[in-house]
Chains A and B, each alone.
Chain A
Amino acid sequence: MIRCERVSLRYSLKDGPDVLRELSFEVPEGGFRWLLGPSGAGKTSLLRLLYLAARPTSGRLSVLGTDIGSASRSKLALLRRRIGVVFQDFRLLPHLSAFDNVALPLRISGRPEGQIRADVNEMLRWVGLYALRHVTPPALSGGEQQRVAIARAVINRPDILLADEPTGNLDEAQAQRLLQLLHELNRLGTTVIVATHNIGLVQDYPAPTLRLQAGRLVEERVTEDA
């Protein structure tokens, strides 16, 4: 599903430092991983590699059976449709309604409009935002925006779901609800990787961890069933 072999990443190819250094790990299909580490450890950079916003500078990264270093741009675009991402800052399009934000991945995939309505409305009911489907993100609270972002991330039933500090803007109750939701998706077969500072959540939902420190993978704790 996800395989990293001595993967390094450098943003500036001339003289910039390696933000990730020779990472090697595997996440099997249907696995769940906590991605831990202090600020600046490289968690977001690793997620950028995994949601295909960057290619590794060196090493070999394979996602969903595709070598990311050598895949064509069009191939990467198709691959991204199988990866859902929840960003800490949501990255919703402010000029689109909640409905249109959630519908966006389906429209990009070329799904007929008739099919989109039913799926999106169902998803908005699932995250409890059906009544606010016509509202644009600036008029929604942080928690509501987070739920729209989650709905958008999972509307395509992705094979991989990545979340970068997804509870950073949520209160404790909302964070717990979100984690339940992520675990439910994982139980249904989606591979989930969540980057977080929130150790309490990790303790509440024990799962294998990847711990980064200064761009290196310093600890990989994997249970037998992961």
Chain B
Amino acid sequence: MLKRREEEQPWLRPAGADDLGLRRALAAPLLGAMVGAMAFLAALSVAGFLASAEVAAHWQQGAGASLTVQVPHPGAMAGLHTRREAVLAALQATPGLASVRALSEAELADLLRPWLGPDAERLSLPLPAVVAVRLAAPGGVDLAALNAKLQSVAPGTLVEREDIWAMRLAKLARSLELTAGAVLVVVALVAAAVVAVATRAGLSARREAIETVHGLGATDGYIAARFSARITRLAAAGGLLGALLAMPVLMGLSWLAMPFLRGSMEAASATPEEPHWTALLPPELWLLLVVLPVVTAGIGWLTAQATVRQWLRRLP
């Protein structure tokens, strides 16, 4: 029955079909490719935003949880022990510290070598003992009280907080995030501009048809809906294309960055393992790739609606 009806009236089309001939007027490959390129760039900028925030959080957590203690004249006696031993004992007795480790002479020489050259170990300089302290949690120790305690056992001992580096890293990370956000806004605006230009080209190409349907009683909403339906489909397809292109790139970058995000230089220097492909991207980036076509479709719909309605204001 249905087949017979189609044979009788094969030219009939559903309501809301391409009344304005927009399939020809709006060049699908060009607009889809342009929106796809914008979606690709948007995916990279969002990934950059997330990655900079993630890396900065790791670094800040590490720096904010560290102290360096310098003990001048480490071999001098402080009571029954050397000053170095007295400070180590005081630190080990302090709650809230995860680890206390005195750097060896070789490690100290490594630190000095960039400034003093390869003979650093042979120079008889009065070097302080250096103790690396890791806190159990950032800010988990009363530094003023610790400083007073160490001064009492070995006067002149210096406690250096490393959170100044954390603050600098935080500023760097914030700058990277703002840059990525700005890039994202620019990409979205360029995508909207591309859609607006394509819509205007379509309006010019179909001016007579638009004036005809306007004269037949079409509202602005009717005409805008024809354009936005077509543009939304093309923009969604472009967004999907951009997401598909971005996926392998993001996976590659994520695979390279994964050791650094584990939080230790040892992990970073280790050979990357072969994780399951779905684990290569964090859930936020998977969500981004899924949402990207929806966002580009939304930009397309909004831009087409605004452009067409503004253009129609010239008609009474």
Residues of A within 8 A of B (CB): 51-55, 73-74, 76-81, 85, 91, 93, 95-97, 99-100, 104-105, 107-109, 112-113, 116-117, 133-134, 152
Contact = CB atoms under 8 A, between A and B. Distances in A.
B192 to A, nearest CB: 25
A108 B216 contact: yes
Nearest to B219: A77
B316 A53 contact: yes
Contacts of A51: 215
Contacts of A78: 217
A81 B217 contact: yes
A53 B9 CA distance: 34
Interface of B: 9-21, 24, 208-209, 212-220, 222, 315-316
Nearest to B13: A100
A53 B208 CA distance: 13
Contacts of A134: 9-11
Given A52-B316, A93-B209, A104-B19, A117 B218 contact: no
A52 to B, nearest CB: 7
Given A93-B19, A107-B16, A81 B11 contact: no
A99 B216 contact: no
A96 B19 contact: yes
Contacts of B19: 93, 96, 100, 104, 107
B316 A107 contact: no
A120 to B, nearest CB: 9
Contacts, number: 74
Given A53-B316, A54-B316, A93-B19, A85 B11 contact: no
Contact of A113 (B14, B208, B219, B315): B14
Contacts of B20: 93
A95 B12 contact: no
A95 B19 CA distance: 8
Given A54-B316, A91-B212, A95-B24, A107 B11 contact: no
A109 B217 CA distance: 8
B312 to A, nearest CB: 8
Contacts of A95: 18, 21, 24
A79 B12 CA distance: 28
Contacts of B316: 52-55, 73, 76
Contacts of A93: 19-21, 209, 212-213
A35 B168 CA distance: 83
A208 to B, nearest CB: 26
B296 to A, nearest CB: 28
Nearest to B208: A91
A105 B212 CA distance: 10
13 contacts: A52-B215, A53-B315, A53-B316, A77-B214, A77-B219, A80-B216, A81-B216, A99-B9, A99-B12, A100-B11, A104-B19, A108-B213, A134-B10
A108 B11 contact: no
A218 to B, nearest CB: 27
Contacts of B220: 73-74, 77
Given A52-B316, A96-B21, A109-B217, 17 more contacts: A77-B217, A77-B219, A78-B217, A80-B216, A80-B217, A81-B216, A81-B217, A91-B208, A91-B215, A99-B12, A104-B19, A104-B216, A105-B216, A107-B15, A108-B217, A108-B222, A113-B15
